[in-house]
């Protein structure tokens, strides 16, 4: 497929995803309770698993329709989790604005447990946030507190509708997927305030179809699938937008805007297309950034070079993940490096174990795949973060934190080189 056709195909597919996942109801001028929209459109690996998700992330998706003189009011409690945020997107699912947990002021009498050094188990942890249907102020200092803006698209044109996504990453062990604080309530109200109807969805639970991902990840089948061509030399590139991925140029970088496919403003991504055509085992190694490990219920929110990082393998056909390894699931050796070994279960090297300093990833049934390496919310002093890398010159910026990947013919070829 020629690059131009591929770019047009990706753009058309993005529009199809928009129609399928984020059609928004048109509201009337009267106050309208839309608190069900998050609960009824919960997405997770057991239901949707599209748009290249991260296995550690839990998503609630809702649509919005901009209405003059109105706004969305969001009321919730900070979850017992590593991270939470709200992102708003335009009609083709490019991010417009976002607010992360530590940027949200708590309600009077409450505390924000995501601030550095904060007590994570504080009992009073409520907040109120808003989605303003107007354009964001040019001066960030003029932004209203706890507010996201949707009224202006990435190219400056008016934006009429799109999606709102609430994300939670890594709830504390023993707590539910909401971090034991429930799903935020979302209601439409007048821009100058007004009553907020009580949520009608507080007791709803997501449907579950267990075992789907495990069956795919455990398969040894060879299923060819079209996608971006892989090469024997694995090249990691920073994600800019879909058009730029299909046909990198200054034009596609500008026309495609920033991000896409519901990408999270707080994440930056490196991607690499890989194929078993060049070897049954793929090894990726880089220095691992530091992060605050919260899964076991840390009492205080600690600092790190990143809030979170992960390595995922996704397939092209549905964009589902085959498997991911979050930072706290990644083995880091005594020198501070992480080594990921990817293969089918049948080709898993005997030395691809935690004892040998390796994090193993199942390749799944598809011959080709897309590896995605994420960095979230880098610290101000972490200059090697993906966020600060220049496309096409990523290795120079990232240094030892840039992934280096190599194919091996099979498991035995890898084992012969490992001293463990």
Q: Are residues 311 and 352 in the same domain?
A: yes
pTM of the predicted model, to two decimals? 0.82
* Mean pLDDT value of segment 154-171: 87
| Residue 398 tokens, joined | 């990232």
In a domain, 124, yes or no: yes
Q: Report how far apart, in Å, the C-alpha atoms of 306 and of each of 71, 91, 104, 343, 378 are.
A: 32, 30, 19, 28, 4
In a domain, 299, yes or no: yes
Virtual CA dihedral for 140, 87, 235, 370, nearest 10 degrees?
Answer: 180
Q: What is the mean pLDDT of the chain?
A: 81
Q: How many CB atoms lie within 10 A of CB 282?
A: 25
What pLDDT, on a 0 to 100 scale, did the predictor assign at position 55? 82
| Residue 175 tokens, joined | 């707590």
- pLDDT tens sequence across 328-387: 999 999 999 999 999 999 999 999 999 999 999 999 888 888 899 999 999 999 999 999
**CA 42/CA 39 separation, integer angstroms:** 6
Is the per-residue pLDDT at 132 higher than 90?
A: yes
Residue with tokens 């947990």: 101
Check: CB of residue 83 under 8 Å from CB of residue 167. yes
- pLDDT tens sequence across 313-334: 987 666 677 889 999 999 999 9
| CATH number, domain containing residue 404 | 2.60.120
Q: Are residues 233 and 310 in the same domain?
A: yes
What pLDDT, on a 0 to 100 scale, did the predictor assign at position 117? 97
In a domain, 336, yes or no: yes
Is the per-residue pLDDT at 128 higher than 50?
A: yes
Check: CB of residue 245 under 8 Å from CB of residue 271. yes
What pLDDT, on a 0 to 100 scale, did the predictor assign at position 223? 46
Check: CB of residue 195 under 8 Å from CB of residue 97. no
Q: Domains in the chain: how many in total?
A: 2
Q: Name the domain boundary from 156, 190, 224.
A: 190
Q: Are residues 164 and 237 in the same domain?
A: no
- pLDDT tens sequence across 69-100: 888 889 999 999 999 999 998 877 788 999 99
In a domain, 65, yes or no: yes
Strand 337-343 vs strand 359-362: parallel, antiparallel, or unpaired?
A: parallel
Q: Are residues 369 and 400 in the same domain?
A: yes
**Residue 82: domain span:** 22-190
Is the per-residue pLDDT at 33 higher than 50?
A: no
């Amino acid at each position: 497929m020629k690059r131009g056709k591929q770019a047009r195909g990706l753009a058309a597919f993005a529009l199809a995803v928009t129609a399928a996942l984020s059609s928004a109801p048109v509201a009337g001028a009267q106050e309208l309770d839309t608190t069900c929209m998050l609960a009824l459109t919960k997405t997770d690996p057991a239901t949707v698993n599209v748009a290249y998700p991260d296995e550690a992330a839990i998503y609630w998706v809702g649509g919005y329709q901009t209405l003059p003189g109105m706004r969305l009011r969001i009321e919730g409690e900070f979850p017992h989790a590593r991270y939470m945020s709200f992102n708003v997107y335009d009609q083709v699912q490019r991010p417009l604005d976002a607010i992360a947990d530590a940027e949200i002021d708590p309600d009077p009498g409450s505390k924000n447990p995501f601030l550095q050094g904060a007590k994570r188990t504080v009992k009073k942890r409520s907040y109120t946030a808003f989605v303003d249907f107007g354009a964001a102020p040019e001066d960030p200092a003029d932004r209203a507190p706890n507010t996201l803006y949707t009224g202006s698209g990435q190219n400056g044109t008016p934006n009429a509708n799109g999606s709102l996504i609430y994300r939670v990453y890594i709830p504390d062990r023993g707590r539910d997927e909401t971090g034991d604080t429930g799903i935020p309530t979302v209601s439409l109200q007048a821009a100058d305030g007004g009553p907020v109807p009580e949520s009608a969805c507080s007791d709803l639970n997501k449907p579950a179809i267990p075992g789907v991902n495990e069956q795919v990840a455990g398969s040894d089948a060879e299923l060819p699938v079209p996608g971006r061509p892989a090469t024997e030399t694995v090249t990691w590139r920073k994600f800019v937008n879909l058009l730029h991925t299909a046909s990198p140029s200054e034009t596609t970088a500008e026309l495609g805007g920033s991000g896409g496919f519901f990408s999270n403003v707080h994440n930056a991504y490196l991607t690499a297309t890989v194929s078993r055509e060049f070897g049954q085992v793929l090894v990726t190694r880089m220095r691992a950034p530091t992060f605050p490990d919260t899964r076991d219920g840390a009492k205080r929110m600690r600092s790190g070079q990143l809030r979170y990082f992960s390595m995922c393998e996704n397939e092209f056909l549905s964009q589902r993940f085959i498997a991911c390894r979050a930072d706290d699931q990644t083995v880091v050796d005594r020198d501070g490096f992480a080594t990921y070994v990817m293969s089918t279960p049948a080709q898993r090297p005997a030395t691809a174990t935690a004892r040998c300093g390796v994090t193993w990833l199942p390749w799944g049934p598809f011959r080709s795949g897309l590896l995605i390496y994420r960095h979230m919310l880098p610290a101000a002093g972490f200059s090697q973060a993906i966020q600060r890398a220049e496309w096409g010159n990523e290795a120079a910026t990232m240094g030892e934190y840039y992934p280096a990947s190599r194919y091996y013919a099979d498991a035995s070829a890898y084992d012969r080189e490992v001293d463990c």
